[in-house]
Amino acid sequence: MKALRGIAASPGVAIGKVYLLDHEDHQSIPKKSIKESQIPKEITRFQEALTQTRAEILNIRDKISKEIGQEHADIFNAHLMVIEDRALIEEVMERIKKERVTAEFVFSTVLKRYVQSFLKIDDEYLRERVSDINDVGRRIIRNLIGTHRRSLAEIQDKVIIIAYDISPSDTAVMNRKNVIGFATDIGGRTSHTAIMAKSLEIPAVVGLESVTHQVKDGDTVIVDGKEGVVIVNPSPSEIQKYKNEQIRYQEFSRGLKKFRDLPCITTDGRRIELAANIELPEETTSVIAHGADGIGLYRTEFLYMNRQDLPDEEEQYQAYKRVVVDMAPKPVIIRTFDLGGDKFLSHLEMPHEMNPFLGWRAIRFCLASPEIFKYQLRAILRASAHGKLRMMYPMISGVQELKQANKLLEEAKNELRAKKIYFNEKIEVGAMIEIPSAAITCDILAQEVDFFSIGTNDLIQYALAVDRINEKIAYLYEPAHPAVLRLLKNVVDTGHEKKIWVGICGEMAGDPMLTPVLVGLGLDEISTSPVMLPEIKKIIRSMSYAEAQEITRYVMTLRTGAEVVNYLKMKYQQILRNSLIKK
Ligand code: PEP
Ligand code: MG
């Protein structure tokens, strides 16, 4: 038995067999054995991957030579040298025979050693070739795995997926009924894997660093998504303990069901709109089942992923209309697409960036590609004819961007008007506040929009300079940091001064312990994963607004995130105790 600690990403307990997923673009390849009879096939597979990679590189070299010049094309000669290195090829083939493991595993270990030896060489030029070696290595591995990478669509039994990372396209094709848990090497609480797992209500732990190396296909594991623990090959008594935990969690969730149809209102009558975040149109069923007042964040970029073309206006219109009609008369906020960061498209040729979260992402990409953006704007406007639809822009950093986006929206409206296509002329438009510059200048932004929605997932990473998906610095990712609380307070107070409403839609909104502060800050709307809504509603219905404001006033005087968390833990218990006494 082995217990691994990671980051709790989606609550619940799963007990089941491991389904190990390869990661095609990384050298973290799990060790998998093969039968003696498979050796010749494995060697052929390796040789074919080399041939295919060679052809790819020759192709790129020719293209670059024609388009940019011979001297740039010469870089690819270094790539070819790796593929043609006899010693490396012989060693891989020998080890496949001797060790009876997959070609990609042997190749990745040989390659790692190769890289290490280059790094030790006292020659700048040769050391710099390491990135070429890594590059060609990735290509070979991709070609090796690409042909036989298991598809999540094929899963037949109930399994727990263990992976380096699970991409949005993996989750899109996954047979959801048979996937009972997730555990990944990388990622943080707000990475797309964590967000997806929560919306699918699958227990998950992320950021385990090397879980893919600690398990084999078919091992039994326990995923405890609340504590962030994965237990490999547990003892019978450990299994029993977690089965009891599973029952406790199910009873807890059942107990919360009664809140579904009750209003989200404090004991002294302040009403807060409790909304849900979704990634896919079909999630509206779960949103309704958990008693949401509406949808506070529909992340539309998932419509653009896992496909070879862009969704056209009509397809988008049908998807948005479906969500609006399903939810009517409740409101729906569509967030215009936010690609980049940790969500990419393979076919859009977005350049590789050193800092994708600081790069060409979301509204920046949209403003640079107005035609693509306007397909979406027109689709949203058309869907606004069918219910209560609002829209908002992600990653606004200043008023100039907001004005440009609104200008394109006006153009889209004019295009529809010219064709006499009906839409809601008074559609409410908001800005996400998720960049510190926007939080600080929100008084200026407020003049251009009808509402703000604070995206704390990004706001925290930018305010604290902590990459939201990097597990190594996850301990610094503190929603309760005084800097974050002060930014939130500024946005809510300023928004209200300027007479616009303010919501919050980052993962922080789904942490029940933080609910008293969010209510006390005066937020008008809280939007989070459907699965978290009943618990949040329970807390809101158990306290008064006056009490929440007092808690917030005190919390704003504290000096560290840890002090805030300790105090809020105590208050959280107190609120629950008092609500039991009052019953
Ligand atoms: C956020 O940044 O808080 C947010 C809700 O958007 P996303 O997680 O999609 O970046
Ligand atoms: Mg964001």
- Residue-wise pLDDT for 166-224, tens only, equals 876 677 677 788 999 999 998 888 888 888 888 889 999 999 999 998 999 899 999 99
pTM score over 0.95: no
- Residue 370's identity, in one-letter code, is P
362: Cβ–Cβ under 8 A, 6 or more apart, which residues?
337, 338, 339, 340, 341, 393, 394, 395
> Ligand 1, atom 6: nearest CA belongs to which residue?
455
pLDDT score for 475: 94
Range 42-51 burial, b when 16+ CB lie within 10 A, else e: bbebbeebbe
CA 348 vs. chain centroid, Å, equals 19
pLDDT score for 346: 54
Helix ranges (DSSP H) in 185-235: 192-200, 211-214
pLDDT score for 1: 85
User: How many C-beta neighbours within 10 Å does residue 363 have?
Assistant: 22
Question: Which ligand has its closest atom nearest to the C-alpha of 396?
Answer: 2
Which is the closest atom of ligand 1 to the Cα of 458? 2
> What beta strand segments (E) does 262-306 contain?
273-278, 295-299
Q: How far is the CA of 306 from the centre of ligand 2 (A)?
A: 20
Q: Does residue 288 carry a pLDDT above 80? A: yes
DSSP-derived pairing of the beta strands 389-393 and 273-278: unpaired
Structure confidence by residue, pLDDT tens digits, 302-359: 888 867 688 999 999 999 999 999 999 999 999 999 988 877 765 555 667 889 899 9
458 lines ligand 1 (CB under 6 A): yes
The strand order across the sheet containing 220-224 reads: 2-5, 229-232, 220-224, 13-21, 159-163, 179-184, 204-206, 7-10
Please identify every residue annotated as catalytic.
Answer: 192, 505
479 lines ligand 1 (CB under 6 A): no
Q: How far is the CA of 554 from the centre of ligand 1 (A)?
A: 28
> Ligand 1, atom 4: nearest CA belongs to which residue?
455
> What average pLDDT is seen over the chain?
91
Q: Does residue 270 carry a pLDDT above 80? A: yes
Mean pLDDT, residues 527-536 taken together: 95
What confidence category does residue 251 fall into, taking pLDDT thresholds of 50, 70 and 90?
very high
Mean pLDDT, residues 440-447 taken together: 98
CA distance linking residue 75 with residue 416, whole number of Å: 50
Q: Does residue 27 carry a pLDDT above 60? A: no
457 lines ligand 1 (CB under 6 A): yes
456 lines ligand 1 (CB under 6 A): yes
**Higher per-residue confidence, 108 vs 509:** 509
pLDDT score for 350: 60
Range 110-139 burial, b when 16+ CB lie within 10 A, else e: bbeebbeebeeeeeeeeeebbebbbebbbb
Instruction: Name all contacts of 364-367 with Cβ < 8 Å and 24+ positions apart.
Output: 364/340, 364/395, 364/401, 365/339, 365/340, 366/336, 366/337, 366/393, 366/405, 366/408, 367/401, 367/404, 367/405, 367/408
Q: Does residue 582 carry a pLDDT above 70? A: no
- Residue 479's identity, in one-letter code, is P
CA distance linking residue 415 with residue 413, whole number of Å: 5
